[in-house]
Amino acid sequence: MNIFKIISLIGCFFILFSCSKSTPKKQAPAVPVIVAQAVMKDVPVQITAVGNVEAYSSVTIKSRVEGQLIKANFKEGDEVKKGQLLFVIDPRPFEEAVRQAEANLLRDKAQLDFARADLERYDELLKEELVSRQQYEKIRTNYESLKATVKADQAILENARLQLSYCYIYSPIDGKIGALLVHPGNMIKANDTQIATINQIIPIFVRFSVPEQELFRIKKAMSEGMLKTEAIVKGVDANYAAQGRVVFIDNAVDVATGTVKLKAEFPNKDKMLWPGQFVNVVLTLGIKKNAVVIPYRALQTGQNAQYVWVVKDDKTAEMREVIPGLRIGDYVTIQKGLNVGEAVVVDGQLRLTPGVKVEIKK
């Protein structure tokens, strides 16, 4: 009887062990991911930089004479034209100087006329030997001296008139005038006091720097035609882009930074670019044909290389090393390691392991 019980227990254990071995293991749930397909397209070859807008020309207005500022013939921030009257310095002292110079000239001209007549009379007397050569030379010297005095008076009069003209300050360029730095009633020092500044903003320049390694590609692109340049202003609601061209490359590389300075010109007829403003500059060097393109956020960086997660046909994940190329905004070209049409993971990479099942979400 005891032997029968022992055999029965052994049979139960055998049945239980067999049942436990045949029970299937529970599979891990699929990892939800968002994917994008690698596509083939033509992409622009571009260089990006941060630039600073500067005026096409800038003029600081100063007075060339000393006096009291009595009039400003504009409002701050006005558009001014070349030749427009801007300021008036009190002209009365200079008008008086002109009148005095005119009076001196008239006086010396009258003396010159008398000396000329006297010289002509002494010419006749010398021919008749009624006066000595010494007396004649004295009269002649007086005439020449007065003639030089008249010339000096004329120069003084011209200078006085010139100084008077400096009391009226005209705009030397078309542009936008800034804040008034000295208000009417204040005294102005000659060639010292800054009164206002005019900036020409149509057209306008953007100055920026690029790494010296890019200089060869830029010069090559310029030799083949006009180098397309964009200045992009980022706004709260939208971005603004202006089209221009590179007009200047500095004649030396900055050894401290390893960069070279460039300057691009923009028409700026809509006056959206403003001096002192920071903008993003994009130089388009050419077009790369039939490039494999994926979203940039699909690209991951490992210890030895960069890689992407590829979703295979059986809905499993594969880690694939790739060689990236140019970055174009939110996208990047792939030079090697990926084929057109393959699906790459753009969101959910942190939970992936090689061979894991994935669930593609929209």
Tens-digit pLDDT profile for residues 32-64:
999 999 999 988 888 889 999 999 999 999 999
Contact status, residue 328 vs residue 2, Cβ threshold 8 Å: no
> For residue 65, what pLDDT is reported?
95
Under a CB-based contact definition with an 8 Å cutoff, are residues 292 and 340 in contact? yes
Neighbours of 353 (CB within 10 A): 10
**CA dihedral in degrees (104, 107, 113, 117; nearest 10)?**
-130
Task: Summarize pLDDT for 320-359 with one digit per residue, the tens.
Answer: 999 998 888 788 999 999 999 999 999 988 888 898 998 8
Q: What number is the average pLDDT over the span 218-228?
A: 84
**Claim to verify: residue 351 and residue 324 sit in the same structural domain:** yes
Closest CA to 283 of 42, 41, 45: 45
Neighbours of 55 (CB within 10 A): 20
Q: What is the pLDDT of residue 28?
A: 67
Mean pLDDT across 70-81: 94
* Residue 337 Ramachandran class (φ > 0 left, ψ -120 to 50 alpha, else beta): left
237 and 192, same structural domain? no
Band of residue 293 on the pLDDT scale cut at 50, 70, 90: very high
Say if residue 253 is exposed, middle or buried (CB neighbours under 10 Å; 0-12, 13-18, 19+): middle
Are 82 and 126 within one domain? Answer: no
Domain extent for 349: 31-43+289-360
* 277 has a pLDDT exceeding 70: yes
Phi, psi of 180 (to 5 degrees): -80, 115
Contacts 24+ apart (CB under 8 A), 220-224: 220/285, 221/283, 221/285, 221/286, 222/246
Mean pLDDT throughout 11-18?
Answer: 52
Looking at the structure, do residues 71 and 182 belong to the same domain, yes or no? yes
Split at pLDDT 50, 70, 90, the class of 24 is low
Mark which of 244, 259, 288 sits at the end of a domain.
288
CA 353, CA 316: separation in Å to the nearest integer? 9
- Residue 156, helix vs strand vs coil: helix
User: Has residue 12 been placed in a domain?
Assistant: no
Do 208 and 245 lie in one domain? The reply is yes
350 or 235: which carries more pLDDT confidence?
A: 350
Token pair recorded at residue 228? 């397309």
Domain boundary among 288, 307, 340: 288
Token couple for 235: 């706004």
- Report which DSSP code applies to 61: E
Higher pLDDT, 121 or 99: 99
Whole-angstrom distance, CA of residue 227 vs CA of residue 307: 34
| Same domain assignment for residues 107 and 173 | no
Residue linked to tokens 């939970």? 351
Q: What is the CATH number of the domain that holds 268?
A: 2.40.30.170
6: in domain? no
